[in-house]
């Protein structure tokens, strides 16, 4: 293994050979803690060191200090040698651990070996990759290093490479995605930055999170600063804070004891930290379409950007809280077959792909995460599912007799089957629209308890991977639910047979996704 390969910059890393991580990895993982411990020891022994150096000896009240006793009995040299030996042992351990930590990328999998006494071997198959996240903590950015996490389908199946050079991490992500797409890696283009080490670090710190050449400008959606601040203020957390403040004022006024206010000082500091963290993490947020999937980036000091390959999104939910109704803001969440150790923008889970956006931003993001919805009628139905108040709008809605179970939302409570996807719409106060790609559907469920059976109603559940999106629709006509159950099941099987998203560059599907018409109106579906 050459020095160039060890450093991991400018070398081909997906060549099937073993490579090591960034040389600063020991410092970033444990060296900083060691330096901090040594610093604390030096600060606590400062007075004793000064007395030893000046020659004043111990202070009058220090005769019972064990350190003074060690110094007076001339054991200080041995203690210093022992401390230096311990430091060297730690440094040597970090170095050996770095030498033993290596990885390789083959045409089939990513493999990482680590550990000195207890060896660990982790493998992630390329055809099960759900996303690749490049995280750049602020301290690591000063060293020109990045953390690369490969999200693999399964519980605790992710493969992490911490740390790599920043340019090496971006290059390796491209090569892994090329291999996972079914094509061979092309020769990497040189992107060296002139100006020396300091110039490279400054360029990396000031560079945009999304490379302008990686995505067409018309596909890029960025976070509006005013909208970000407004969404934080118009949140449920803010409502709870306002309620707590009102209760505190009432209690203080009633009891005439202002000492209650001092007990909430730590809570106020914590709330301020929450708002600051949520704000800074969402700065420079962007989502864009790239040839290898959707790129989501955010962060100011510590940055993160993740690429979701095509076909890795199993369900999409668009929701609008009541407080966001007036400004017209929406939030988009997704289900994916993996979990990441890194949180998403605004400190939320990495399943929140758009923390807040207006109607135009929401439509553009939906076009990115649902590229299979190309039929104009399906796109129009998607928009009506977000804004329509219900009725005869293309959805099979709950009948009038269901209003006892859905007082306000029975007109909006419905489903629609379009080419390539199933839409579920629910909620009138808190609007929700769920879209499940038919090729990602795992199973179907229909439930009818005693009450629903008596009312000739049923509930329908679309089972996908675990996540925040629960594709369940209740209080729909029983006959319509049976017809939908058969139509969705047939469409899901046909879509899965022609799906090639796991090898999105290898070939073009020879057959389009079958067009499944909306089930015909069932007598009694829209009438009591």
Helix (H) or strand (E) holding 295: strand 293-298
Residue 185, token pair as written in the block? 């890696």
pLDDT at 190 over 70: no
More confident residue, 191 or 118: 118
- Residue range 205-228, pLDDT digits in tens: 555 556 555 566 666 888 888 999
Give me the residue label for tokens 């006494």. Answer: 117
DSSP 106-160: -SSEEEEEE-SSS-EEEEEEGGGEEEEEEEE-HHHHHTTEEEEEEEESSTT--EE
pLDDT at 12 over 80: no
User: What pLDDT shows up at residue 436?
Assistant: 95
Bridge partners, 132 (sequence order): 150, 307
User: What pLDDT shows up at residue 71?
Assistant: 57
Confidence of residue 37 (pLDDT cuts 50, 70, 90): confident
User: What pLDDT shows up at residue 211?
Assistant: 58
User: What pLDDT shows up at residue 51?
Assistant: 60
pLDDT at 405 over 50: yes
More confident residue, 371 or 385: 385
User: What pLDDT shows up at residue 147?
Assistant: 92
Over residues 407-413, the mean pLDDT reads 92
Bridge partners, 288 (sequence order): 295
Nearby residues of 342 by Cβ (< 8 Å), 6 or more positions away: 133, 135, 149, 304, 306, 350
238-247, 406-415, 467-476: range with lowest mean pLDDT: 238-247
User: What pLDDT shows up at residue 290?
Assistant: 83
- Residue range 352-373, pLDDT digits in tens: 899 999 999 999 999 889 887 8
More confident residue, 392 or 383: 383
Over residues 259-280, the mean pLDDT reads 79
More confident residue, 283 or 459: 459
pLDDT at 240 over 90: no
User: What pLDDT shows up at residue 4?
Assistant: 45
Please give the C-alpha separations between residue 487 and each of 276, 419, 433, 516, in angstroms, as whole numbers: 48, 12, 20, 7
pLDDT at 94 over 80: yes
Helices in 256-371 by DSSP H: which ranges?
A: 260-263, 265-282, 359-369
User: What pLDDT shows up at residue 524?
Assistant: 43
User: What pLDDT shows up at residue 225?
Assistant: 87
4-18, 48-62, 138-152, 367-381: range with lowest mean pLDDT: 48-62
Q: Among 239, 236, 238, 244, which Cα is nearest to 264's?
A: 244
Over residues 190-217, the mean pLDDT reads 55
Over residues 91-103, the mean pLDDT reads 88
Give me the residue label for tokens 């001092």. Answer: 262
Confidence of residue 403 (pLDDT cuts 50, 70, 90): very high
Confidence of residue 322 (pLDDT cuts 50, 70, 90): very high
User: What pLDDT shows up at residue 444?
Assistant: 94
Confidence of residue 275 (pLDDT cuts 50, 70, 90): confident
Q: What is the average pLDDT value for the chain, to the nearest integer? A: 80
Highest mean pLDDT among 56-60, 247-251, 351-355: 351-355
Q: Where are the beta strands (DSSP E) in 412-502?
A: 414-418, 421-426, 431-437, 443-447, 457-463, 472-477
Over residues 497-518, the mean pLDDT reads 58
User: What pLDDT shows up at residue 73?
Assistant: 57
Confidence of residue 44 (pLDDT cuts 50, 70, 90): low
User: What pLDDT shows up at residue 438?
Assistant: 93
User: What pLDDT shows up at residue 85?
Assistant: 84
Percent of the chain with pLDDT over 90: 31
Sign of the torsion formed by the C-alpha atoms of 288, 290, 296 and 298: negative
More confident residue, 282 or 416: 416
User: What pLDDT shows up at residue 19?
Assistant: 92
5-9, 62-66, 443-447, 468-472: range with lowest mean pLDDT: 5-9
User: What pLDDT shows up at residue 162?
Assistant: 86
User: What pLDDT shows up at residue 521?
Assistant: 46
Confidence of residue 279 (pLDDT cuts 50, 70, 90): confident
pLDDT at 63 over 60: no
User: What pLDDT shows up at residue 339?
Assistant: 66
pLDDT at 401 over 80: yes
Q: Could you give the CA distance from residue 376 to residue 69 in angstroms, rounded to a whole number?
A: 86
């Amino acid at each position: 293994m050459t020095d160039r390969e060890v450093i991991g910059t400018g070398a081909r890393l997906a060549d099937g050979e073993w490579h090591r991580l960034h040389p600063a990895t020991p410092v970033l993982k444990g060296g900083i803690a060691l330096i901090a411990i040594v610093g604390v020891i030096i600060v606590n022994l400062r007075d004793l060191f000064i007395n030893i150096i000046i020659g004043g000896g111990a202070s009058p009240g220090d005769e019972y200090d064990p350190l003074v006793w060690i110094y007076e009995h001339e054991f200080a040299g041995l203690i210093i040698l022992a401390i230096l030996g311990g430091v060297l042992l730690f440094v040597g351990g970090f170095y050996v651990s770095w030498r033993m930590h290596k990885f390789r990328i083959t045409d089939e999998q990513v493999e990482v070996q680590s550990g000195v006494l207890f060896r660990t071997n982790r493998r992630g198959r390329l055809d099960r990759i759900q996303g690749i996240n490049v995280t750049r903590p602020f301290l690591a950015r000063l060293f020109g290093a990045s953390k690369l996490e490969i999200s693999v389908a399964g519980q605790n199946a992710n493969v992490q490479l911490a740390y790599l050079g920043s340019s090496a991490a971006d290059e390796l992500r491209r090569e892994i995605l090329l291999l996972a797409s079914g094509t061979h890696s092309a020769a990497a283009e040189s992107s060296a930055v002139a100006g020396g080490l300091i110039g490279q670090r400054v360029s990396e710190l000031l560079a945009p999170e999304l490379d302008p050449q990686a995505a067409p400008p018309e596909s890029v959606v960025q976070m509006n600063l005013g909208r970000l601040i407004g969404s934080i203020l118009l949140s449920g957390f803010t409502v709870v804070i306002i309620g707590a403040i009102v209760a505190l004022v009432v209690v203080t006024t009633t009891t005439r004891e202002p000492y209650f206010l001092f007990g909430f000082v730590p809570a106020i500091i914590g709330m301020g930290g929450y708002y600051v963290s949520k704000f800074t993490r969402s700065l420079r947020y962007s989502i864009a379409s790239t040839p290898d999937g959707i790129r989501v980036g955010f962060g100011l000091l510590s940055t993160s950007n993740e690429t979701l390959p095509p076909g890795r999104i199993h369900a999409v939910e668009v929701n609008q809280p009541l407080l966001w109704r007036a400004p017209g803001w929406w939030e988009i969440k997704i289900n994916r077959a993996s979990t990441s150790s890194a949180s998403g923008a605004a400190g939320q889970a990495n399943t929140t792909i758009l923390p807040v956006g207006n109607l135009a931003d929401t439509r553009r993001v939906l076009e990115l995460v649902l590229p299979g919805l190309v039929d104009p009628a399906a796109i129009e139905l998607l928009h009506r599912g977000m804004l329509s108040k219900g009725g005869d709008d293309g959805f099979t809605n709950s009948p009038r007799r269901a209003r006892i179970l859905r007082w306000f939302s029975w007109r909006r409570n419905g489903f629609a089957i379009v080419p390539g996807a199933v839409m579920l719409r629910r909620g009138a106060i808190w609007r929700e629209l769920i879209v499940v790609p038919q090729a990602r559907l795992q199973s179907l469920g229909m439930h009818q308890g005693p009450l629903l059976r008596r009312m000739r109603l049923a509930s329908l559940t679309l089972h996908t991977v675990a996540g925040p999106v629960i594709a369940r629709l209740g209080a729909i006509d029983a006959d319509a639910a049976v017809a939908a159950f058969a139509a969705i099941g047939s469409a899901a099987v046909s879509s899965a047979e022609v799906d090639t998203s796991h090898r999105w560059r290898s070939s073009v599907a020879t057959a389009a996704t079958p067009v499944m018409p909306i089930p015909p109106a069932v007598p009694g579906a829209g009438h009591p």
